[in-house]
Amino acid sequence: MARPRAADYDAKRDAILAKAAELFARNGYDGASLAEIAAACGVSKALLYHYCSSKEDLLDEIIAQHLGDLLAAVHGADDPSRPPRERLRGLARALLDAYRDADHTHKIQINDLGRLPPDRQARLKAMERELVAVFATAVASVNPAIGAKPDLLKPLTMSLFGMLNWHYLWFKAGKGMSREAYADMAADLVMDGALKLAAPPPQASAKLRSIGSRPPKRS
């Protein structure tokens, strides 16, 4: 008969994941052992195995939980009925807000996902692609012409993620630009770029205006 779980099992597991994430981020995945994680959590290594079977499981669950939180925040904020600029700003704000107090897990997602076996990587990368797809749809809504050009849509979308994903390296709450203002600025930069890239070249625009101004030929 399986041993029943304690009422506080999930809370204790979450606490272990948080402490493991802190140690992985500070010491590196290879530099943090299960014995150190158990000691930091104030439990025995034997008890730690009651909550996770391996360090790999911890890494997998930390990243999966983090990506799940990001997806929930972004899907909750997405509203296709809003004007495109407001929609993308809302998504950028939601993502940055979800990153709040998640520096350790975010760093681990970026640096250590590749340490997992291919099958586990595939599941987590599918979650990442889902996240990117939400933003790509919003970027394309700024100018539908971009949506038909993946060679433009992907760089624009990933540029936005680059600005948002690495903000934790320099951002200091209460100093300078606010989190919300930075999210708006990053979104605006990408949207303005999308509009510029989708516009016809200046030479073509001038030629079209010239053609449109000529009187029709008489037969």
**Pair 139, 111 in one domain:** yes
Residues 46 and 125 in one domain: no
210: confidence class by pLDDT, cuts 50, 70, 90: low
pLDDT tens digits, 81-120: 999 999 999 999 999 999 988 889 999 999 999 999 999 9
**Tell me: the pLDDT tens digits for 37-51?**
999 999 998 889 888
According to DSSP, residue 201 is labeled P
Instruction: Say if residue 33 is in the same domain as residue 92.
Output: no
Give the C-alpha separation, 135 to 162, whole Å. 13
Residues 95 and 186 reside in one and the same domain: yes
Tens of pLDDT along 141-155?
998 888 888 889 999
Task: Write the single-letter amino acid at 86.
Answer: E
Does 42 share its domain with 97? no
> Rounded to whole angstroms, how far apart are CA atoms 98 and 183?
12
Whether 72 and 177 share a structural domain: yes
Number of domain units in the chain: 2
Q: Same structural domain for residues 60 and 153?
A: yes
Q: What is the overall mean pLDDT for the chain?
A: 87
Domain coverage including residue 19: 9-53
> Are residues 85 and 111 located together in one domain of the fold?
yes
* CATH code of the domain covering residue 21: 1.10.10.60
Rounded to two decimals, what is the model's pTM? Answer: 0.83
Per-residue pLDDT tens over the stretch 12-61: 899 999 999 999 999 999 999 999 999 999 999 888 988 888 999 999 99
* CATH code where residue 64 lies: 1.10.357.10
According to DSSP H, which parts of the chain are helical? 9-27, 34-41, 45-48, 55-77, 84-99, 103-112, 118-142, 144-147, 150-165, 179-198, 202-213
- Domain assignment present for 210: no
Instruction: Give the model confidence (pLDDT) of 125-176 as tens digits.
Output: 999 999 999 999 999 999 888 888 888 999 999 999 999 998 888 888 788 8
Q: Report the 10 Å Cβ neighbour count for 204.
A: 10
Q: How far is CA 101 from CA 6, 55, 96, 107, in A?
A: 28, 23, 10, 12
Buried b (16+ CB within 10 A) or exposed e, 48-75: bebbbeebeebbbbbbbbbbeebbebbe
The answer to whether residues 15 and 46 belong to one domain is: yes
- Is 39 in the same domain as 66? no
Based on the number of CB atoms within 10 Å of its own CB, is 89 exposed (0-12), middle (13-18) or buried (19 or more)? buried
Residue 166 lies in a domain: yes
CA distance 150 to 168: 28
Q: What is the mean pLDDT of residues 179-198?
A: 91
Please tell me whether residues 61 and 136 are part of one structural domain. yes
106 with 39, same domain: the answer is no
